Structure 1
Amino acid sequence: MRNGCPLVGISDITCDIGGSIEFVNQTTLIDSPFFRYDPLDNSYHHDMEGSGLICSAVDILPTEFAREASQHFGDILSQFIRILASSNCIEELPSHLRRACIVHGGALTSLYEYIPRMRKSDLEDVSITSENAHPVKMKYTTLISLSGHLFDQFLINEALDIIEAAGGSFHLVKCQVGQNTNAMSYSELQVGADDKLVLDKIIDSLTSLANPNENHEFKGSKNNAISLKVGRFKESKVEMECDTEKKAFVLILGAGRVCRPAAEFLTSIGSDSSQEWLKSFRTGNLDEQTCVQVIVASFFLKDAEEVVESIPNATAVQLDVMNHGSLYNYISQVDIVISLLPPSCHSIVAGACIQLKKHLVTASYVDDSTSKLDEMAKSSGVTILCEMGLDPGIDHMMAMKMINHAHVRGGRIKSFISYCGGLPSPEAANNPLAYKFSWSPAGAIRAGWNPATYRYHGEVVHVGGEDLYDSAKRLRLADFPAFALECLPNRDSLVYGDLYGIRNEASTIFRGTLRYEGFGSIMGTLARIGFFSTEVIPILDDQKRPTYRTFLLSLLNICKGNLDESTVGEKDITESIVSLGLCKETETAVKTAKTILFLGFHEESEIPKSCQSAFDITCLRMEERLTYSGTEQDMVLLHHEVEVDFPNGLPTENHRATLLECGKTKDGKTTTAMALTVGIPAAIGAMLLLRKKIQTKGILRPIDPEIYVPALDILEAYGLKLLEKMD
């Protein structure tokens, strides 16, 4: 901030977790009243040691602030107590109180009978036990949305009556209740029937409710109008490729890109169409005829349905993990849980898994909050397998295989170097930066601000966050000479010395992030120009919105009168970069100018009001111009180099291991290499737990032979080839 003090903390008493303050995604308790949120890396912590915002979030106001809440609610309620106390029956009450009475005489009043009906539909939907392998569903289903005064005018009662009277069923997928008399409510219902004609009749009746005819009692009443939208009809088909009643259940939380490869892998287990890769692993406690039923849960049902489309033995469900009742309901009825949610959600899921004694797999790093669950998990006999993706994940497994192989033969690790990067495939690297984003650029740009530490030939090297891009080094891999690459140091490499047990023997420990050559110098120059500044820009406060061109000229201190033409060109930008001393080499200045023009910063279009800083503007332009289009594919490249010394004068060995994977397009659908190399290892972790191959309990990483030996074998058998060489 330019003036005043920076924001230190937030206390949210709205009882609206994840609402107006989006990053407040958890409540705090009296015995643990704060947590810390670091916006720079979107991480959550329960200590007060580091940077970030101190957050307190109340969930039950009368309990947390008992005196204030009691006084406030008491003052309001006291106005109605006399009337309620003096009335003999509910009919004597004024209409506003009568309608507000939820329970009378030990039972729900007629206006609120919809509550248990909705709750019952929700409970039925999560019944996925072995005795009842599939959720209770009708043959034909459709998703409908209702909006209007559904609850204050009790139109939801009529809608449910119509569905049940016709012999149909419903499940409440989503519900947003209007918070005042003018606000509309919104509900999504999954409506089903065993006969398509019955479902047609239900939809016709709901349409009549939404569009009342002349005889309808609500004709002309604006408040009683509702809006109805109907999705396409679906016919439920149970596609079981394996002829068996033996089933195992895996719940996948999250329906992002990583989910589908994991679901496809798991549902292929036990099916008649299983590939040859599976045959050598049909041993252990999971019977070879056992099918795996996958339940994909997402906050948005549509996302989960898109993931499971055309995947046999996969079911989509709607689930809000912040709804503890629903979360526990689903977890209690499966064998294994895979969490592909953001890391901030893992502690909630892990706590539920420990309490319900269910194993959990994640692809995320072990953070402080997860580490603290180790003893609880061991006590409950639960395995929480973390870092089971690409990086972290496959990198651990490849490293430990090489290191342990050397140690068994009496060798000592002299040098450990690891490179990993998610890149566009060569044909998709068709822009000056030679990079594209498959997700928000903000996170990737912020990663370039993280300081790094590594050991090189015995010397510990520290790189400040502001120097990271400029520290990029040219790199050529002997096994892939066609790739013009560079690497940037990746955070603290020294922690891997402890993790891999080589701190006291390796004189070089380095982990780097791969990019195509030139990326670091261009990004470093963009940073010095000011494109990544998070400070509010004064020109964006003007009522008249500036254009991208105006913004660019202000960053480069270019006066419009000095331009030969009305548009700013590559020559103008290059000369300005060099004259301002922002770049030492003219070649880099030219590449940076080409990048600026490619991103459209020279255009006369107005900057959207949502942008308040140079960082916001840059992220928006990169998201618009540096995304994968059509069938363009990404590429994952993971490469380890390990130098091993041996006693007794034996020659030094240089071991190399590489994973190179590109995205795949099939039937018009592209699966990214990143999704494959993160989703499949997570699914393999679940498979190993199902087959009782992992016996260790507590918080684990795939650095032990009981995990990485079978996991690497399965990866290769499944088609993710690992190239290993030794000199």
Structure 2
Amino acid sequence: MVSADDRDVLDHIIDSLTSLANPTGNNRFSNQNSKLSLKLGKVQDNGMEKEPDSKKKAAVLILGAGRVCQPAAEMLSSFGRHKTLLEEDFEDQIDVDVIVGSLYLKDAEQIVEGIPNVTGIQLDVMDSANLFKCISQVDVVISLLPASCHINVANACIELKKHLVTASYVDSSMSMLDDKAKDAGITILGEMGLDPGIDHMMAMKMINQAHMKKGTIKSFTSYCGGLPSPEDANNPLAYKFSWNPVGAIRAGRNPATYKYHGETVHIDGDNLYDSATKLRLPDFPAFALECLPNRNSLLYGDLYGIGTEASTVFRGTLRYEGFSEIMGTLSRIGLFNNEVRPILKNEQRPTFRKFMFDLLKIVHEDPEGALMGEEDIIEKILTLGHCKDQRAAMMTAKTIIFLGLLDQTEIPASCRSAFDVACFRMEERLSYSSTEKDMVLLHHEVEIEYPDSQITEKHRATLLEFGKTVDGKTTTAMALTVGIPAAVGALLLLTNKIQTRGVLRPIQPEVYTPALDIIQAYGIKLIEKSE
């Protein structure tokens, strides 16, 4: 929300949006197919309230009532009713009604509470009849469900000729729907979140600008991470989970491949944590960060059209410094082992302390009564060779204690493996409280060579976003940076800014040019620098 008193913010929004409405040769965002205009909604004039005339109605169905849903619903519901309005040639004003569908009605109602023009309903996407009925009543569907559910939704959208937006990766099963989507005359816009999503858009903007000037991309590096805001990174790992930690822990075992100075580098999943490197960003020197390689970076070189020209293509995951040393040590101790552990098979449940003694091969006549402190854990970790560094052993011992793995309480029967125990404790002890904030940091660096210059240009683009608390209610940075792009994708389809049909990613100017400007106008700042 921007009031008329916020002159600087209004000027920024007007400049951003009208740059697309009135393209010129000097406008780096110019795109003849994407015209954006700005209108003001309710305006007070001599005490009389004036409304924009002849508005059309549109409806969007959002599937999934998780944290990401709320900012998406808020943005869509405010479209056409408040200060900023996306239109084409100042015509066809649109009011958007939003329906949020969730398997559990209470979740949908909780998300929509207090948001005007948004309705919560109970909807099971596996109930085809009900799913088809709900999709038939809207213009665009946004699926924020787990990726495994998208195909079911996509097939329904194809049959009913409705556009679909997701924030998930476009996998092979979704790609195979390209021809069907084209035949149906619809767009399935995937990877419209943060990573993937804004990362694609920022990358392609930088790369295409370089190519338009006959430049050659020599190096592309990208870093992204969801982290606690510095003041809330208050545990030994300096990390917290905004949802179930299972996926994040498993990601730490994924192999990685990237290209560095012309050589292809492969990292085995078991060695991923050991491959982490320290990272300092020039624009944010106060952040002590580290970076882990993120899966197969070579795929992105091909996707961005720089696979053959760039000698370095690297994508990494950001964490605060020290995270990987601790996680790597915990992994070597066996805490992330997924096999059923004999001690956890028994009907009589062991305590966390007894389980940890078993992992660390500590033999004691009375493990429940044994005194075991931080120094003892450090010594045992070093003796077993789980790490060689005293400081890493100390931080690992602090983490074990912080997670309550020496507590004398029984382990739940649902925990059958060390991995189960780790996830159970991390979900308990490494979750955000209602007042704590997260942070999202996305950073691209591109090195460009031009034919008429001997100097290599370096371009940087950075997104830094923090969670926001309004009236005691916190919205995470991750929810904002995933939910807003998804909503923007729906708006671009509603207003016919995206004309291409089939299965798309936001790597075409038709999508990323207007999307980036709207995202920034909405308050998510993207910092660009070159040297």
Q: Same fold (TM over 0.5)?
A: yes
- Aligned mate of 2:88, from 258, 266, 283: 283
CA contact (8 A) 2:55 2:92 kept: no
Q: Which amino acid aligns with 1:414?
A: K
Q: Deviations over 1:655-687 (max 9, x none)?
A: 000000000011111100000000000000000
Alignment of 1:51-200 (within 5 A): none
**Cα distance in 2, alignment partners of residues 261 and 400 from structure 1:** 25
**Cα distance in 1, alignment partners of residues 56 and 162 from structure 2:** 19
CA contact (8 A) 2:59 2:140 kept: yes
* SS of the residue 2:292 aligns to: strand
Is 2:407 the counterpart of 1:603? yes
CA contact (8 A) 2:353 2:367 kept: no
TM-score, scaled to structure 1 = 0.65
Alpha-carbon distance, 1:244 to partner: 5.8
* SS of the residue 2:406 aligns to: coil
Please name the residue that 2:420 is paired with. 616
Please name the residue that 2:171 is paired with. 367
- Aligned mate of 2:74, from 259, 264, 268: 264
Alpha-carbon distance, 1:380 to partner: 1.0
Please name the residue that 1:592 is paired with. 396
Alpha-carbon distance, 1:559 to partner: 2.0
* SS of the residue 1:353 aligns to: helix
**Cα distance in 2, alignment partners of residues 255 and 530 from structure 1:** 35
- Aligned mate of 2:63, from 250, 253, 259: 253
Is 2:231 the counterpart of 1:421? no
TM-score, scaled to structure 2 = 0.89
- Aligned mate of 1:705, from 484, 493, 509: 509
Please name the residue that 2:489 is paired with. 685
- Aligned mate of 2:263, from 459, 463, 478: 459
**Cα distance in 1, alignment partners of residues 527 and 180 from structure 2:** 39
Structure ID, larger Rg? 1
Alpha-carbon distance, 1:541 to partner: 2.1
Q: Which amino acid aligns with 2:392?
A: T
Q: Does the C-alpha gap of structure 1 residues 286 and 437 become closer, same or farther in structure 2, counting only changes over 3 Å?
A: farther
Alignment of 1:511-590 (within 5 A): 511-560=315-364, 566-590=370-394
Q: Does the C-alpha gap of structure 1 residues 450 and 286 become closer, same or farther in structure 2, counting only changes over 3 Å?
A: farther
Q: List alignment gaps of at least 5 residues for structure 1.
A: 1-240
**Cα distance in 1, alignment partners of residues 350 and 172 from structure 2:** 44
Please name the residue that 2:147 is paired with. 343
Please name the residue that 2:39 is paired with. none
**Cα distance in 2, alignment partners of residues 285 and 668 from structure 1:** 38
**Cα distance in 2, alignment partners of residues 697 and 254 from structure 1:** 25
Please name the residue that 2:284 is paired with. 480
Task: Indicate the percent of aligned positions where both proteins have the same amino acid.
Answer: 68
CA contact (8 A) 1:391 1:420 kept: yes
CA contact (8 A) 2:326 2:395 kept: yes
* SS of the residue 1:560 aligns to: coil
* SS of the residue 1:651 aligns to: coil
Q: Deviations over 1:518-569 (max 9, x none)?
A: 0111000000000011111111222321111111111111122699983211
Please name the residue that 1:334 is paired with. 138
- Aligned mate of 1:653, from 457, 461, 464: 457
Alpha-carbon distance, 1:286 to partner: 6.6
Please name the residue that 2:244 is paired with. 440
Alpha-carbon distance, 1:311 to partner: 0.8
* SS of the residue 2:297 aligns to: coil
**Cα distance in 1, alignment partners of residues 198 and 315 from structure 2:** 14
Please name the residue that 2:158 is paired with. 354
Please name the residue that 2:314 is paired with. 510
**Cα distance in 2, alignment partners of residues 525 and 285 from structure 1:** 60
Alpha-carbon distance, 1:245 to partner: 5.8
Please name the residue that 1:724 is paired with. 528
Alpha-carbon distance, 1:307 to partner: 1.1
* SS of the residue 2:142 aligns to: strand
Q: List alignment gaps of at least 5 residues for structure 2.
A: 1-50
Q: Does the C-alpha gap of structure 1 residues 495 and 391 become closer, same or farther in structure 2, counting only changes over 3 Å?
A: same
Question: Alignment RMSD, CA only?
Answer: 1.6
Alpha-carbon distance, 1:429 to partner: 0.3
Alignment of 1:14-33 (within 5 A): none
Alpha-carbon distance, 1:246 to partner: 2.5
Q: Does the C-alpha gap of structure 1 residues 562 and 251 become closer, same or farther in structure 2, counting only changes over 3 Å?
A: closer
Kindly indicate whether structure 1 or structure 2 has the higher relative contact order, using CA contacts under 8 Å at least 6 residues apart: 2
Please name the residue that 1:50 is paired with. none
